[in-house]
Amino acid sequence: MSDSVIIPKEAAPRLSSLFSRAYLFGTLMLGSGIMLHAVETYITATLMPSIVRDIGGLSLFAWATTIYVAASVLGSTFVAVRPERVTLNRCYVFGAVLFGIGSLVCAIAPTMETVLIGRAIQGLGAGFLVALGYAFIRFVYPEPLWSTASTLYAAVWGIATFLGPTIGGIFAAGSAWREAFALLVPLSILMAFSAPKLLPSGEGERVTTKTPFPQIVLLVAAVVLLSFASSVTAPVLRGALAVAAVVGILVTITIERHAQARLLPAGTISLSSPLARVYLTMLLLLVTICSDVYIPYFLQVLHAVTPLVSGYLVALLALGWTAAAFTTASLKGRRANQVILVGAAIEAVATALLVITLARYNPQSNVLLLAIATVFIFLMGFGIGMGWAHLVTHVLHLAPAGETDKASAAITTMQALGSAFGAALAGIIVNTTGLVEPGGTEGALTAARWLYSLLALPAALAILLTLKLPVGKTAASH
């Protein structure tokens, strides 16, 4: 495949265009990389109870996710700061190989500590693959298809939300969690072998800098500290860890502002930069959406819903994201910015309304109350899905000359950080407001009310940022 393929200017940016002969293999490769990561995320979440029962390590349960997310930040960063002679398709090979090695380590792990090593290697590979999904867009597709390609990736996550728990449930039911990880190994090998043949090299004008090790270390440390803060029981220690994480983030920003070796594109630290506002909007929307991590628990404890049903109800959030992405993919310019704003408002309001629907004691599983709560769960995903593809397109348009790789990789970094910070903040809120002490129904009610009240605020703040998003191909230097 050539590095750039031109289609007629008048061609309609429909999803089917991504599967035309010119783009089919690129679409399959990039979609497969994101699908591998997305499905595995849900499979592992489903398998973790079985893994703990088999080899122990309950105290390390949460770290299977934390270490994966932290490693994915490192992987996505390498895509942007890789050596000049390392092309994007070679990065894809590295990512697929690392993912396969990590899966193999998990499959043969005798202890939970070994599983965590495998999860770290998996996360590193996943960071490569997801970052490349965005970085390759400008090489595989013409500009009119950029937003449509971003929509496809949202659809991949929606599909994975249903496939992952189902596949994981099948393997968990037979206590075959090792086979579930082993299944990913040949898939990873196939993808690594195919990448040089089916993907363009991804070479282009690029500003090369030294690796921003201090910023990377501080960000990963902040993720780890917040994860610790969400799981410790002592309030004083929880507060100290949270403060330390905030300090780490502030120091990272200070270093990034003056460093020659930058993690983000030039000018991104200042809110006067349109690109900075786009990234921050992404981060805030993701922090709010991560309040979904406790939805299954509240459905089971407060509404007497079975674990299987609660899993599929929360999956409606991803379905909402996918449905909105398809609905709004064709919008451009001011209309695209309007749906980003409306979507942020819908996400904020839907999250806040869970305070009076999900945070209710409903031991009889009243269908009407559950139905209303389910609608708001769906709308949380629908809200972020309305604008996500357009935010990605803004990043590609606003990237400074020579820093498109860095700008694209930063999308994945924002996703990882948003997910990590959102989940950690959710843990801190519920553990501080009664989930564990006093616990039970009373604790769950109090925790749910505080959680959805507070985590609606980041999406509300994102509304203000969307009011100043650029229209069209505004220069990044503005």
- Same structural domain for residues 310 and 427? yes
Of 69-73, 87-91, 198-202, 363-367, give the range with the top mean pLDDT. Answer: 363-367
Half-sphere exposure of 435 (CA within 13 A, CB side): 22
- Same structural domain for residues 72 and 90? yes
Give pLDDT, residue 475: 40
* Owning domain of residue 248: 210-261
* CA–CA distance, 434 with 312 (Å, rounded to integer): 26
Q: Is 70 exceeded by the pLDDT of residue 59?
A: no
- Same structural domain for residues 245 and 158? no
Of 50-54, 225-229, 352-356, give the range with the top mean pLDDT. Answer: 352-356
Q: Which amino acid is at 137?
A: I
- Same structural domain for residues 463 and 328? yes
Residue 7 lies in a domain: no
Query: What share of the chain in percent tops pLDDT 90?
Result: 25
- Residue 116's nearest CA partner among 131, 128, 127, 105 is 105
- Same structural domain for residues 238 and 387? no
Q: How far is CA 183 from the centre of its chain?
A: 23
Which of the four pLDDT bands, split at 50, 70 and 90, describes residue 5? Answer: very low
Domain boundary among 157, 183, 203: 203
Residue 80 lies in a domain: yes
Lowest mean pLDDT among 77-91, 383-397, 445-459: 77-91
Give pLDDT, residue 3: 42
Q: Is 70 exceeded by the pLDDT of residue 474?
A: no
* CA–CA distance, 309 with 299 (Å, rounded to integer): 9
Q: Is 70 exceeded by the pLDDT of residue 12?
A: no
What is the average pLDDT value for the chain, to the nearest integer? 82
Q: What is the pLDDT of residues 85-111, one digit of tens each?
A: 778 888 889 999 999 999 999 999 999
- Same structural domain for residues 240 and 327? no
Angle (nearest 5°) at CA 464 between 458 and 468: 135
- Same structural domain for residues 244 and 295? no
Give me 160's structure tokens. 């994975």
Sort 88 into a burial class: Cβ within 10 Å, 0-12 / 13-18 / 19+. buried
> Residue 63: CB partners within 8 Å, gap ≥ 6?
116, 227
- Same structural domain for residues 180 and 130? yes
Residue 102 lies in a domain: yes
**CA dihedral in degrees (355, 357, 359, 365; nearest 10)?**
-170
- Find out whether 318 and 157 touch, Cβ atoms under 8 Å: yes
Higher confidence at residue 176 or residue 203?
A: 176
CATH value at residue 401: 1.20.1250.20
DSSP state of 13: -
The arithmetic mean of pLDDT across residues 38-50, rounded, is 77
Residue 3 lies in a domain: no
Q: Is 70 exceeded by the pLDDT of residue 191?
A: yes
- Tell me the whole-structure pTM to 2 decimals: 0.78
Task: Classify 306 in phi/psi space as left (phi over 0), alpha (psi -120 to 50) or beta.
Answer: beta
Q: Is 50 exceeded by the pLDDT of residue 6?
A: no
- Residue 290's nearest CA partner among 420, 440, 449, 101 is 420
Higher confidence at residue 364 or residue 403?
A: 364
Residue 1 lies in a domain: no
- Find out whether 82 and 135 touch, Cβ atoms under 8 Å: no
Domain boundary among 226, 261, 296: 261
Tracing tokens 């993808």 back to the chain, one arrives at 191
Sort 197 into a burial class: Cβ within 10 Å, 0-12 / 13-18 / 19+. exposed
Give pLDDT, residue 205: 52
Residue 8 lies in a domain: no
Lowest mean pLDDT among 253-267, 358-372, 458-472: 253-267
Q: What is the pLDDT of residues 263-283, one digit of tens each?
A: 788 778 888 888 889 999 999
Q: Is 70 exceeded by the pLDDT of residue 303?
A: yes
DSSP state of 292: G
DSSP state of 7: -
- Find out whether 469 and 281 touch, Cβ atoms under 8 Å: yes
Sort 59 into a burial class: Cβ within 10 Å, 0-12 / 13-18 / 19+. exposed
Q: What is the pLDDT of residues 319-372, one digit of tens each?
A: 888 889 888 877 888 888 999 999 999 999 999 999 999 999 988 888 999 999
The arithmetic mean of pLDDT across residues 12-18, rounded, is 66
* CA–CA distance, 436 with 444 (Å, rounded to integer): 8
Query: What share of the chain in percent tops pLDDT 70?
Result: 89
Residue 5 lies in a domain: no
Give pLDDT, residue 101: 96
As for how many domains the chain has, the answer is: 3
The arithmetic mean of pLDDT across residues 304-321, rounded, is 78
Domain boundary among 180, 203, 226: 203
- Same structural domain for residues 221 and 185? no
- Same structural domain for residues 107 and 219? no
DSSP for 170-235?
HHHHTT-HHHHHHTHHHHHHHHHHHHHHHS-------------HHHHHHHHHHHHHHHHHHH---H
- Same structural domain for residues 75 and 160? yes
Per 3-state DSSP, the chain is made up of helix, strand and coil in percentages (nearest 5) of: 75, 0, 25
The helix-helix angle for 63-81 and 404-432 (nearest 10°) equals 160
- Find out whether 393 and 333 touch, Cβ atoms under 8 Å: no
Higher confidence at residue 145 or residue 251?
A: 251
* Cβ count within 10 A of residue 237: 12
Cα Rg of the chain, angstroms: 21
- Find out whether 171 and 51 touch, Cβ atoms under 8 Å: no
- Find out whether 199 and 92 touch, Cβ atoms under 8 Å: yes
* Cβ count within 10 A of residue 345: 17
Residue 418 lies in a domain: yes
Q: Is 90 exceeded by the pLDDT of residue 396?
A: no
- Same structural domain for residues 230 and 280? no
Q: Is 60 exceeded by the pLDDT of residue 223?
A: yes
